Structure 1
Amino acid sequence: INNIFNILKSINIIIGKFLLSLFYYKDIILHDRNISSFITNCLKSARKGNSIAQYNLGYYYQYGEGITQDYKKSFEWYTKSANSGHTGSQNNLGDCYYYGNGIKQDYDKAFEWYTKSANSGHIKGQYSLGKCYYYGRGIIQDYKKAFEWYSKSANNGCAKSQNYLGECYYFGRGIEQNYEKAFKWYFESAGNGCIESQNYVGECYYYGNGIEQDFNKAFEWYSKSANNGYAKGQNNLGYCYKHGIGATKDYNKAFEWYYKSAKNGYAKGQDRVGYCYKQGKGVEKDYNKAFEWFFKSANNGYAKSQYHLGYCYHYGMGTSVNIEEAVVWYKKASDNGILRANKMLNKISSIN
């Protein structure tokens, strides 16, 4: 009987470890009172060299799941797991180097680990390697190689890669421009929940690129992207309400969505909020707040706001008149292609 009991006990332990590893492998995070015991067991397995447990400890520390967030410890566990050949950890270790989480930022090392992960067939690693080639991080920029890696990852179901593959086709980066294929990949990515692609599907419908122009569908997709928190989608939805595109014209709703976009850091949305305050569209006119938002947008590099900020300084709108500052911002706007800024500079020059 004791032998049978010991055998059953061993079987239960094996099954328990298997299920725990399965939870780790599938990224099933348990949000209940037992999570601390799972992390304790995970820690025991990780210390014994279980690469899956090491990966998940890295994940828990990275996101503070059931444990205090600690990027350095996350980096340490990802490193151990990655050196044991875990492809997910190789990608995430690359992320640590890419973003400087738990370790000094190092694009070269990020590229090195992404390459290992990608060559082992990990779809996120393939996406990350494509990103390095696309932006020239840790390697010379190469759109063709970016396209190749995005293609592999996209065909394996990675929504982010599908989005970037759409971008490659849309702008002709690494492949001949093809709006129809761009739309195809944007649409597939959007269906897989990518909020950026939901916005770009909207843009395809808005401009009629790769699909028949349809303002109602543009509004529909902008709405999805905006409601999912994408700042550019929020700005575009605000534009639809402002101009009555795919929806009834509504300045209040336009301001609402512009404001959400602005709060999420989108420079164009910040400019639009400034415009609404300046004109009293959808909100009470307030030159001080208009100046405040133009200032944010201009400092985020948006050329039209640089012009608007110059105008505010020029005529004392929401701030004191300051011709020197007006000239500074008009020049920045002019350098960024705003032609009317040149007229204002000439006007100031003729007076002086």
Structure 2
Amino acid sequence: MSSNLLDKININKEDEYFLKKLLKDFYRKLIETTDFNNFKKISSEWLNYEIENNDKDQKRVLEMMENHEESKSLFTSFMGFFYQLGIGCVLDKEKAYYYGKRVNKNEKKAFEWYLRSAIAGCAAGQDSLGDCYANGIGTGKDETKAFEWYMKSAVAGCAVGQYNLGNCYGNGIGTDKDESKAFEWYMKSAENGNETAQNNLGDCYANSIGTEKDETKAFEWYMKSAVAGCAVGQNNLGNCYGNGIGTDKDEEEAFEWYMKSAENGNEMAQNNLGECYGNGIGTDEDKKKAFEWFIKSAENGNAVGQNNLANCYEDGMGTDKDEEKAFEWYLKSAIGGCAMGQFNIGDFYFYGIGIGKNLDKAIDWYKKASDNGFNEGKIMLDTIAANSL
């Protein structure tokens, strides 16, 4: 790297690692996102948390990216996002547009840079090249090539590459699905310190994926993942404490880990925290706080949280009663695949709550709920059929 640039803005090795990890984690967040209507809000909150949690300053993070010698090849779209939302700067749509125009060109340059790095034997570069092929970044999407480069990275000892290779085997990406091999690579990555792999290894033990079920080991790996800061692992650890899985039941511990995960941006934990406040589980009952956490979960796209938020509006729990808003959130939940939300939106159409009565739509949603395993949906279908005779 250019020593002049590094001296000028004083980018140390920790800063360098943070910038590239933040960029990579951001792309993963983008790939995993399902609620694109709220993507800006979700991403902004996530970035603010990540920067603050790592004791960094937003303005300095942006300055480091702008002055970094790889700013044109790696950070262009990322900087555009900062200017688009005013993170570390005054909101500037012209700069956001300027950087946005350069994204495709610079993603191609990033791909070329990763390719050179990978061919030279850099394990991290091989993993990043796998990401490019897996997601069509700077090149055509090619899952087989993604798998091949993840394999090279994993064999070379890269913990992230080992995790990604486990994902390939676990989901049949670029290769045949093989849960035993997925488990083996998650184990290597987890032992190599990757917190997401530690969570996935916990999932394997909890659900007999590629190995025998062992709830004690599941708890132990969720603990490692949670302590390392993985939001999903923190939520799963909360589940273990909340339900006595692999450990003694402890609702106060469950509440604490749900809180950590929720503050870390996990939408399922935000819902779980809302349920804790709503029902006095591990903490004092507080309907208003329950409502606030259900809002966060719902806006982050969690279908269960959307159903629970609708419940709040329907019953006036922690907020004013509003049947139209209840309808809107039940509909989002139902579309998101939540069986209870599908049943509830069926009820709203059947009884004309927050919307005009519509028997055909009610039947459609009751059927979806029933097909999704929610028995009350079948009961309503049978009742409607019997009354129509």
Give the TM-score band, short-chain normalised.
0.7 to 0.9
Aligned with 1:68 (options 96, 99, 115):
99
Aligned with 2:290 (options 237, 251, 254):
254
Aligned with 2:369 (options 333, 337, 346):
333
User: Is the Cα–Cα contact under 8 Å of residues 274 and 294 in structure 1 kept in the other structure?
Assistant: yes
2:17 partner amino acid:
D
> Using the alignment, how far apart are the partners of 2:72 and 2:201 within structure 1?
32
> Using the alignment, how far apart are the partners of 2:191 and 2:363 within structure 1?
51
Q: CA deviation at 1:73?
A: 3.0
Q: Return the structure number with greater relative CO, CA threshold 8 A, min gap 6.
A: 2
Q: Counterpart of 2:53?
A: none
Q: Counterpart of 1:189?
A: 225
> Using the alignment, how far apart are the partners of 1:257 and 1:346 within structure 2?
36
Structure 1 stretches lacking a partner, 5+ long? 1-12, 43-55
> Using the alignment, how far apart are the partners of 2:286 and 2:4 within structure 1?
58
User: Is the Cα–Cα contact under 8 Å of residues 5 and 67 in structure 2 kept in the other structure?
Assistant: no
Structure 2 stretches lacking a partner, 5+ long? 20-59, 83-97
Q: Counterpart of 2:235?
A: 199
Aligned with 1:107 (options 143, 154, 158):
143
Call closer, same or farther: CA 1:331–1:147 in 2, change over 3 Å: same
> Using the alignment, how far apart are the partners of 2:305 and 2:178 within structure 1?
31
Q: Counterpart of 1:236?
A: 272
User: Is the Cα–Cα contact under 8 Å of residues 205 and 212 in structure 2 kept in the other structure?
Assistant: yes
> Using the alignment, how far apart are the partners of 1:207 and 1:221 within structure 2?
13
Q: CA deviation at 1:75?
A: 2.2
Q: Counterpart of 2:214?
A: 178
> Using the alignment, how far apart are the partners of 1:318 and 1:183 within structure 2?
43
> Using the alignment, how far apart are the partners of 2:161 and 2:203 within structure 1?
19
User: Is the Cα–Cα contact under 8 Å of residues 11 and 64 in structure 2 kept in the other structure?
Assistant: no
Q: Select between 104-113 and 261-270 the one with higher mean Cα deviation.
A: 104-113
Q: Percent of aligned positions with the same letter in both sequences?
A: 44
Q: CA deviation at 1:350?
A: 2.5
> Using the alignment, how far apart are the partners of 2:124 and 2:248 within structure 1?
40
Within 5 Å, give how 1:258-269 maps onto structure 2: 258-269=294-305
Q: Select between 23-32 and 292-301 the one with higher mean Cα deviation.
A: 23-32
1:241 partner amino acid:
Y
CA RMSD of aligned residues (A): 2.7
SS in 2 for 1:308: helix
2:289 partner amino acid:
K
- 2:165 matched to 1:124? no
User: Is the Cα–Cα contact under 8 Å of residues 66 and 79 in structure 2 kept in the other structure?
Assistant: no
Q: Give TM-score, length-normalised by structure 1.
A: 0.85
Q: Select between 15-24 and 299-308 the one with higher mean Cα deviation.
A: 15-24
Max radius of gyration: which structure? 1
